[in-house]
Amino acid sequence: MRDVEFHNREKETREIRAILDSRPTLITFIYGPINSGKTELITHTIEELPDEYVVFYINLRTKFLASYDEFIESLFEMEMEAEGATRKKKETLAELVSSVTKVAGIPITKEFMDYVFKDKKPKNAFSYIIKLFEEVEATGKQPVLIVDELQKIGDVNVNSSLIYELFNFFIDLTKERHLAHVFVATSDSLFIEQIYSEAMLSGRCRYLLVDDFDRGTTTAFLGEYGFTDGETQTAWDYCGGKPIFLLELIRIDEKERFAKKILATRVNQLKDLLDYLDYTKPGIAIGETRYLVEKEDVVNILRRFVDAEDIDSDGLNRPAKQFLIEDNILFLDLDTGIIKPQSRLNLLAIRKVLEERVQ
């Protein structure tokens, strides 16, 4: 199999580079439907950056976050104790910074870790990071902090002020101190909507949408891998421009059969979900109150997609809407307030399931 190379994203890459070229002032949310290529774009952009940027990249996806301590730990990467007498143990921040490569987690030693955890307040962790970033700045370089899959912080079972404090810290790094660029990536636009009001982000953040490829980009991408016009049409009809599925289609010879198979899987998952709602009403928190999700409201929202590809978020039943977004069936575009299925496959599956219900 040929290795698939990073494709296009010129516009988004340009936007990120323009942000990095200017003084840090706002927090940047990189958002978009699942598997649209957010992490790939970030990783690729970092690789291409000149050495004057020192990037601290934290991906919470693989981290187990059940407690406050685990969240704080997830931010840092412990420096191993030097073995033998040949390497000097790193004791100062300057020594730590001198060993930082272009991309890493936030380095820390055991001694600093004790300080960070001292009285279980995020304040200590944040002041450590600020000092470390100031050391980076002192060497003439620009610190960049990237937190990927930040919605996982929602799993942390502590007082709700953690998010508030974290975003105040991000505001401090950007708008107040102009010390570091801060990027936060997530597929969960409800999470962004929620912290937007809780952390008073008005005027302190910007959004960068990384959506599935458009038609032209998809055609160009698949063309590089020898797709015929017919194969490209099949790919677009079933998978739209969702990179993760396009990669599968590149890999597989019987493209149409594969596309039909993943659609059938999606249809079954959706049917199963509707069946599940016959037996239970999931609870959804809106502010302080919990609401029950009614199957009828869910079906009413889905029905809107029978003859539309996207719909206005206004006026929809809120618990049902939230349930469908949290379940990764629908995606909310924060900039426009437009809701659409998370993928072309989801759109097709919704239509198929609803058609069958009518018959």
Ligand X SMILES: Nc1ncnc2c1ncn2[C@@H]1O[C@H](COP(=O)(O)OP(=O)(O)O)[C@@H](O)[C@H]1O
Torsion angle of C-alpha atoms 254, 36, 51, 111, degrees rounded to 10: -110
* Site string (9-48) toward ligand X, x via CB under 6 A: x----------------------x-xxxxxxx--------
Q: For residues 73 and 149, which CB has a smaller minimum distance to ligand X in the complex?
A: 149
- What SS3 state is found at 213? coil
Residue 132 CB, shortest distance to Mg ion, in Å, is 25
**DSSP 8-state class, residue 173:** I
Q: For residues 57 and 126, which CB has a smaller minimum distance to Mg ion in the complex?
A: 57
Q: Which does 201 bind (CB under 5 to 8 A by kind): ligand X, Mg ion, none?
A: none
**DSSP 8-state class, residue 89:** P
**Token couple for 323:** 């349930």
Query: Do the strands 205-209 and 338-341 form a parallel or antiparallel pair, or are they unpaired?
Result: unpaired
- Among 302, 298, 301, 296, which Cα is nearest to 314's? 301
Phi-psi region of 306 (alpha: psi -120 to 50; beta: other; left: phi over 0): alpha
Choose one: 36-44, 79-87, 192-200, 215-223; the region binding Mg ion (CB under 5 A): 36-44
Query: Do the strands 53-59 and 289-292 form a parallel or antiparallel pair, or are they unpaired?
Result: unpaired
Taking CB under 5 A as the rule, does residue 218 contact Mg ion? no
Taking CB under 5 A as the rule, does residue 39 contact Mg ion? yes
Taking CB under 6 A as the rule, does residue 262 contact ligand X? no
Residue whose Cβ sits closest to ligand X: 37
For ligand X, the binding residue among 107, 143, 241, 243 (CB under 6 A) is 243
Q: For residues 38 and 204, which CB has a smaller minimum distance to Mg ion in the complex?
A: 38
Q: For residues 47 and 272, which CB has a smaller minimum distance to ligand X in the complex?
A: 47
* Touching ligand X, residues 39-98 (CB under 6 A): 39-40
Residue 331 CB, shortest distance to ligand X, in Å, is 11
**DSSP 8-state class, residue 261:** H
d(CA 100, CA 214): 38
Residue 30 CB, shortest distance to Mg ion, in Å, is 9
* Touching ligand X, residues 158-197 (CB under 6 A): 187
Query: CB under 8 Å to 226, separation ≥6 — which residues?
Result: none
**Token couple for 248:** 């599968």
Which residues bind to ligand X, rule: CB under 6 A? 4, 6-7, 9, 32, 34-40, 187, 243-244, 247
